[in-house]
Amino acid sequence: MDEFPIFNATVLAQVFHFVLLLILLRIFAYKPLLRVMDERRRLVEESLARVERDRREAAARKDEAAQELQHAREEAEEIVHRATVQGEERASEIVERARAEVQRMHDEAREVIRREQEQAAAVLCEEVASLALMAAGKIVQRELQPEDHREVIERVLARAERLIC
């Protein structure tokens, strides 16, 4: 057992070197490594926070765009509705004006026909009176026999019928 002493100087040197290595690693490797890892964790957390913020902003913009689109659709529907109503009103006005114009023209035509009938009747009366005067003049100029008298009356009536028809 002498050959393997428990507290051999080599073991003691190895333990010393191991502890020294741990201290040096802690100072020169572990702390910088922790700093790099902390920095990396901070960057990842910031990136995640930025991504989450961007996602919320995108969702908010999407909602805004959807609301604006809905508002635009409603506005377009309102414009179309108003245009339709105005068009229908305009069409009704045009139809009403056309009806009034047709009625006015109809009334004017009736009035023109009535006046022309009155004028024709007046002309006819004048012609009949003129014919009657002519017949009376002829009767007075000559003495008529009953047959001649009948013939004159028939001619006057035939002439009056032609004027009336």
24-54 residue pLDDT tens: 888 888 888 888 999 999 999 999 999 999 9
Question: What is the number of domains present in the chain?
Answer: 1
The domain in which residue 132 lies consists of: 9-164
Domain assignment present for 118? yes
Question: With a threshold of 0.85, does the pTM exceed it?
Answer: no
pLDDT at residue number 145 = 67
Domain assignment present for 69? yes
Domain assignment present for 3? no
pLDDT at residue number 39 = 95
The span from the CA of 37 to the CA of 15, in Å, is: 29
Contacts of residue 138, Cβ cutoff 8 Å, sequence gap at least 6: 152
138: nearest Cα among 121, 162, 159:
159
pLDDT at residue number 143 = 61
Cβ atoms of 114 and 96 closer than 8 Å: no
The span from the CA of 143 to the CA of 130, in Å, is: 20
Name the residue type at position 23: I
- Sign of the Cα torsion 143, 149, 153, 154 reads negative
Q: Is the pLDDT of residue 165 over 60?
A: no
pLDDT at residue number 144 = 58
Helices (H), the chain: 9-24, 31-141, 146-164
Domain assignment present for 123? yes
**Model pLDDT for residues 60-104, shown as the tens digit of each residue:** 999 999 999 999 999 999 999 999 999 999 999 999 999 999 999
Domain assignment present for 4? no
DSSP 142: S
